[in-house]
Amino acid sequence: MTTTNRRIRAFKRWMTHNSIQHSDTINILTDPQQDNQILIKAMHNINQGDIIATIPKQSCLTVKSSSACHLIEGFCLEGYIALAVAVMYEKSLGPLSPWFGYFQVMPDRNDDVPLLWSVDEIDELLLGTELHKTVKEDKALVYEDWKTCIMPFVESAQLDPSDFGLDQYFAAKSLISSRSFQIDDYYGFGMVPLADLFNHKTDAEDVHFTSVSSHSDSETDSSENIENRIDDHPDEDSLCQIQNDPTVTSQEGDFSAADDTLSSNTEILEMIMVRDVKAGTEVFNTYGSMGNAALLHRYGFTEPDNPYNIVNIDLELVLQWSSSLYSSRHTRSRLSSWKSLHLSELPDQQIDYFEISSDGEPEVELLKLIFIILLPEKAYNEFDRSKVALISNKKGIVLSEITETNKKVLLTESVRGGLLSLADIREKCYGSRSMEDDVEALKDCPVTETKLYHSLVLRISERRILEKLRAYASVGSARVRSLGVCNGSTLRKKLQKR
Ligand SMILES: C[S@@+](CC[C@H](N)C(=O)[O-])C[C@H]1O[C@@H](n2cnc3c(N)ncnc32)[C@H](O)[C@@H]1O
């Protein structure tokens, strides 16, 4: 028996001891193709609506359930930092920790998460990508947290500093980023045994993770969606649903010994099938609708053909491009006109970058900024006074009336040229290796070379978007010419009709 299989058996014994149950329609297996990563497979056909697992909340490793809770809360640690301390603390207890059996299947760290890559690896593999600067900033912030929060905590609590070193902190952060869930208001974020063994598939999950709670103040049943991660993106899709519905606990699942435990304890998490799955296939969860940069950032992997990919063009880069064509006075005044236009429309939104969607469409604000930068002096002065800009042949448009739906009217010859230049400048951020070099390198790269493999997928997916941006800019030309714009008011009506 391999070490991993032995560890899985130990984990299964630990689950039984902690009343974590799963139906015999699923099993925990390893994937020899993927460096013995763990996955969940259907052993029999499973039907939509089947409850395949139940997990008592107190079996989850959270700040509240950890034996270091009083120390952590007494020192007012919160969020990521608090959970990282709980994880490091329990790990330091070895076999004395109630989660020792769980640690048998939880890796010590997730080396695929870029936070754990060396600076040289980040510079080499992520150059030019959306993650390059972000991950370097993350590393500095995590170090700062360790120095200003963890070290004083360890000293004050008189814990062994060797259990809470910088390396252990980075390791805990990588696990929290790639495996933690939002449980509920009481338990907060935490590590959820068994639920964290399901791999991700974008927009094609088989299972939903549901929390059945008795902490509700309300007499009536209610349900709401909550997050699976503890990061600062609360508006993203959730993995986890809360159902304050005690009747769910009495539903008949496939658990032979489950009934007593389930009826006496409403503090449980459930995994419910949301589609039928055939015997022999992997059962997937979803970690949310994320592009490859976000997936690699938090979880350390990417997906081919991910529909949520994006690439950004920084405002700074647009200003560099403008300064290469015009005086810095020109750039400053055009920027300020664009900002006042933008702020009058969206006063609370500061824009530092512009998103290019997976199909190569730039957001309207980028088109407006390029348009304003490129306005000839006379037209610009007119625009500055009247807020009506002339596109061609003295036909006017009101920039504040241009939205995502009618933005193509801004694709004049010069704006298209601007977009092409920006695509070229953004492309240069990837360094001397061409897109073809990246594609060839990916062909030769085994999936098990995870850092290289996923960074190549990310680079290629971003560069494909830049290719599409170029196509968007070029296709726009015929469209704009054929608009044959008339006078300003007629044009505005046309725009409103779309
Ligand atoms: C919550 S764990 C899932 C269980 C994990 N396979 C294990 O061995 O413990 C999340 C990690 O699994 C891996 N993973 C999940 N979905 C994946 C996918 N679609 N492709 C590649 N790796 C994936 C990544 O390493 C990710 O950080």
pLDDT of 422-435, one tens digit each?
999 999 999 999 99
Same domain, 144 and 218: yes
Q: In the predicted model, what is the mean pLDDT of residues 19-47?
A: 94
Evaluate: CB of 292 within 6 angstroms of ligand 1: no
| pLDDT averaged over every residue in the chain | 85
Same domain, 197 and 50: yes
- Is 305 within the bounds of a domain? no
User: Which of 276, 299, 322 is the last residue in one of the domains?
Assistant: 299
Same domain, 369 and 241: no
In this model, does residue 177 exceed pLDDT 60?
A: yes
What does the pLDDT read at residue 67? 96
User: Which of 257, 276, 299 is the last residue in one of the domains?
Assistant: 299
Same domain, 380 and 424: yes
24 vs 398, more confident: 24
Lowest mean pLDDT, pick from 287-301, 373-387, 456-470: 373-387
CATH number at residue 247: 3.90.1410.10
User: Which of 240, 268, 299 is the last residue in one of the domains?
Assistant: 299
Structural domain harbouring 203: 3-299
- Is 304 within the bounds of a domain? no
Find the 219 Cα to ligand 1 centroid distance in Å. Answer: 38
In this model, does residue 342 exceed pLDDT 60?
A: yes
Same domain, 295 and 316: no
Same domain, 291 and 322: no
Evaluate: CB of 199 within 6 angstroms of ligand 1: yes
In this model, does residue 147 exceed pLDDT 80?
A: yes
Confidence band, pLDDT 50/70/90 cuts, at residue 390: low
Same domain, 461 and 318: yes
Give the total number of structural domains in the chain: 2
Q: In the predicted model, what is the mean pLDDT of residues 68-77?
A: 97
In this model, does residue 494 exceed pLDDT 90?
A: no
Find the 191 Cα to ligand 1 centroid distance in Å. Answer: 14
Three-class SS string for the chain? CCHHHHHHHHHHHHHHHCCCEECCCEEEEEEHHHCCEEEEEECCCECCCCEEEEEEHHHCEECCCCCCHHHHHHCCCCHHHHHHHHHHHHHHCHHHCCCCCHHHCCCCCCCCCHHHCCHHHHHHHCCCCCCHHHHHHHHHHHHHHHHHHHHHHHHHHCCCHHHCCHHHHHHHHHHHHHHEEEEECCCEEEECCCHHHCCECCCCCCEEEEEECCCCCCCCCCEEEECCCCCCCCCCCCCEEEECCHHHHHCCCCCCCHHHHHHHCCCEEEEEECCCECCCCECCECCCCCCHHHHHHHHCCCCCCCCCCCEEEEHHHHHHHHHHHCCHHHHHHHHHHHHHHHHHHCCCCCCCEEEECCCCCECHHHHHHHHHHHCCHHHHHHHHHHCEEECCCCCEEEHHHCCCCCHHHHCCHHHHHHHHHHHHHHHHCCCCCCHHHHHHHHHCCCCCCHHHHHHHHHHHHHHHHHHHHHHHHHHHHHHHHHHCCCCHHHHHHHHHHC
What does the pLDDT read at residue 395? 67
Evaluate: CB of 454 within 6 angstroms of ligand 1: no
Evaluate: CB of 197 within 6 angstroms of ligand 1: yes
Q: In the predicted model, what is the mean pLDDT of residues 331-340?
A: 94
Lowest mean pLDDT, pick from 142-146, 180-184, 436-440: 180-184
